[in-house]
Structure 1
Amino acid sequence: MPRLLSIAHLTAIELSPPELVRAAAHHGIGAVGARIHPATATEKQYPMLPGSRMLKETRDACRETGVRVLDVEVFGLGKHIDRETWMPVLEAGAELQATVLNVVGVDADLGRFRDKLGMLVDDAHGYGIRPSMEPISYQPLSSFSTARTIAEETGAGIMVDTLHAFRGGASLSEIEQIPTDMVTVVQLCDGMWAEPSEVEVSVSMPIGQSVGGSPREFESRAQRMLPGKGEFPLQKILELFPQVPVSIEVPDVRAVRAHGLDAHLANCVDNSWKLLSEGNATALGQN
């Protein structure tokens, strides 16, 4: 069975969720991630909560195109976040028939984060959604080993973002220790081992996103590389989780400015399929 390929919303965040669904269909992709909850304080929030017109338009676009919503994002689970905040997000995700909620650990007290995540997992279960932690190299929850322990304690999943995995210093052996059934999504992009050293504060970010205060944040939101064009061992990550859906997460504001968003999406899709096809060919040759 072919692996499900999705487009993460961050790759084309300037498109509203229904526009992203139709763009995915145009490029022959079967799923998308939809941003229901803002990731940064400065960005425009798409009106996607229950009862909104845009949520209905997104649902209609899915029905018309056959594209599904794989995950909804980005839920920063912090000190002051509680059920009042996450229940509408879960309800919207359920309307879109999403199965994964992207969770970022922004609480420095990881014990409190674990306890709240356990509550979120319990609430999400009734909606058919699995909250899944994305360890991020510049957030309190950056370690895949720690995420694995918390997942074992709460029943949450883990999203493996290839950029944050390597920027956070995770080894392949560390990632290999994560049980396959714990990983819900592999977020795919490439990068160079040498990290960017500057934040380009003059860059105009889509929907008013913050460029971030560190080179890692800027790279994460605005300067990722196409799969197969950098130095990361992406094929090895894909081999570890052969049945897990892959979400293309390649925001690149300069590429979009130079060539247009549609061309950028086409390059993302073409390079991702090429990488997946090469992996399939290698696996067949080993059998």
Structure 2
Amino acid sequence: MNRTIGLAHLSALHLSPPDLVEAAADAGFTSVGIRVHPATRSETQYPMAAGSFMSAQTIERLAGTGLSVRDIEVFTLDGHRGRKEWEPVLEAGAALGAGILNVIGADPDPARLTDSLAALVDDAAQYGIRPSIEPISYQPLDSVPAAGLLVDRTGCGIMLDSLHFVRAGSQIEDLKALPSGAVTVIQLCDGPAATPVLPVPHRMPLGQEVNGSARQIESRAKRLAPGEGVFPLREILAALPDAPISVEVPDVWAVEAGGTAAHLKHLHTAADTLIGSHLQTEMESTS
């Protein structure tokens, strides 16, 4: 199956949404994910409320480039946030034409998380958006099997981040056990077998927190392009043949050294090469 390649905002979070659209189009991507709500407490927020100047500018750039917004991010369910907080996020996503909301399960109470997510799913349906929980290796909701239970109980989707899939110890068999269509996006990246020991960047895009955590530094500041590490990416693609792809590879050092345009072009080339080789292998195995 031919797959189009989208770009996750985290790959170039220092770019505002309208600038991200332009840069993604120049690099060859066909869609983008856009951050309309902060992921960490210290993070600066782009003014992307529905009807804002930046939202309108982003919509204009989308029309001019032909790109679409596949997903928006990120809403954290922590046991305290509810409808009052998520309603503006859904409105911002609907204005952009997004169909997916990236959700983080940070609530340590599984029952409360399930109830909150179910309410969010119901509200989001009015906007044509499907909340999709992302298992994150350093959050309470960290594994594919746990996310699969939430799909069954709430009707949410799953955003599968290949980094956290590996770091949380999930298995390919876990993907095969999911309901059909559960994974709404594969966030594609690569990495070494073990979490690397990295210095804390002297500056993080939008002031993101890393808290001195090796996993958070890797996740938010230094990933590898698809095909440059040891993650089972071809096996993931084979297990999820219909899931859209969004390349999520932040690398603050690469951007500082070579610039954003070169970084994004490299990511598109790497993803295209990986997907092309996977498709060729699939064709040969069925011929």
Same fold (TM over 0.5): yes
Contact residue 16 and residue 46 of structure 1 kept, 8 A = yes
Q: 1:15-94 residue pairs with structure 2 within 5 A?
A: 15-94=15-94
Aligned to 1:267: 266
Contact residue 34 and residue 71 of structure 2 kept, 8 A = yes
1:127-146 superposed Cα distances (whole Å, 9 cap, x missing partner): 11000000000000002111
RMSD: 1.1
Whole-Å Cα distance in 2 between the matches of residues 127 and 163 of structure 1?
30
Paired amino acid for 2:20: L
Whole-Å Cα distance in 2 between the matches of residues 273 and 179 of structure 1?
27
Whole-Å Cα distance in 2 between the matches of residues 32 and 208 of structure 1?
21
Aligned to 1:122: 122
Contact residue 180 and residue 241 of structure 1 kept, 8 A = no
TM-score for both structures, normalised by structure 1: 0.97
Contact residue 105 and residue 140 of structure 1 kept, 8 A = yes
For the residue of structure 2 that corresponds to 1:282, the secondary structure is helix
Decide whether aligned partners of structure 1 residues 180 and 5 sit closer, same or farther in structure 2, where only a CA change above 3 A counts. farther
Aligned to 1:141: 141
Whole-Å Cα distance in 1 between the matches of residues 33 and 180 of structure 2?
21
For the residue of structure 2 that corresponds to 1:185, the secondary structure is strand
Aligned to 2:167: 167
How many Å apart are 1:96 and its aligned residue? 0.6
Aligned to 2:232: 233
How many Å apart are 1:21 and its aligned residue? 0.8
How many Å apart are 1:108 and its aligned residue? 0.7
1:219-247 superposed Cα distances (whole Å, 9 cap, x missing partner): 00001011100011101001111121100
Whole-Å Cα distance in 1 between the matches of residues 259 and 247 of structure 2?
17
Contact residue 172 and residue 239 of structure 2 kept, 8 A = no
How many Å apart are 1:180 and its aligned residue? 3.3
How many Å apart are 1:202 and its aligned residue? 4.7
Contact residue 39 and residue 75 of structure 1 kept, 8 A = yes
How many Å apart are 1:197 and its aligned residue? 3.3
Aligned to 1:249: 248
Whole-Å Cα distance in 2 between the matches of residues 266 and 28 of structure 1?
7
Whole-Å Cα distance in 1 between the matches of residues 63 and 272 of structure 2?
24
How many Å apart are 1:79 and its aligned residue? 1.3
Contact residue 69 and residue 98 of structure 1 kept, 8 A = yes
Paired amino acid for 2:61: A
Aligned to 1:183: 183
For the residue of structure 2 that corresponds to 1:180, the secondary structure is coil
**Does 2:25 correspond to 1:7?**
no
Contact residue 50 and residue 92 of structure 1 kept, 8 A = yes
Paired amino acid for 2:116: K
- Name structure 2 gaps, 5 residues minimum: none
Whole-Å Cα distance in 2 between the matches of residues 283 and 171 of structure 1?
21
TM-score for both structures, normalised by structure 2: 0.97
Contact residue 200 and residue 212 of structure 2 kept, 8 A = no
Whole-Å Cα distance in 1 between the matches of residues 179 and 4 of structure 2?
19
Whole-Å Cα distance in 2 between the matches of residues 96 and 204 of structure 1?
29
Percent of paired sites with the same residue: 50
How many Å apart are 1:110 and its aligned residue? 1.5
- Name structure 1 gaps, 5 residues minimum: none
Aligned to 1:277: 276
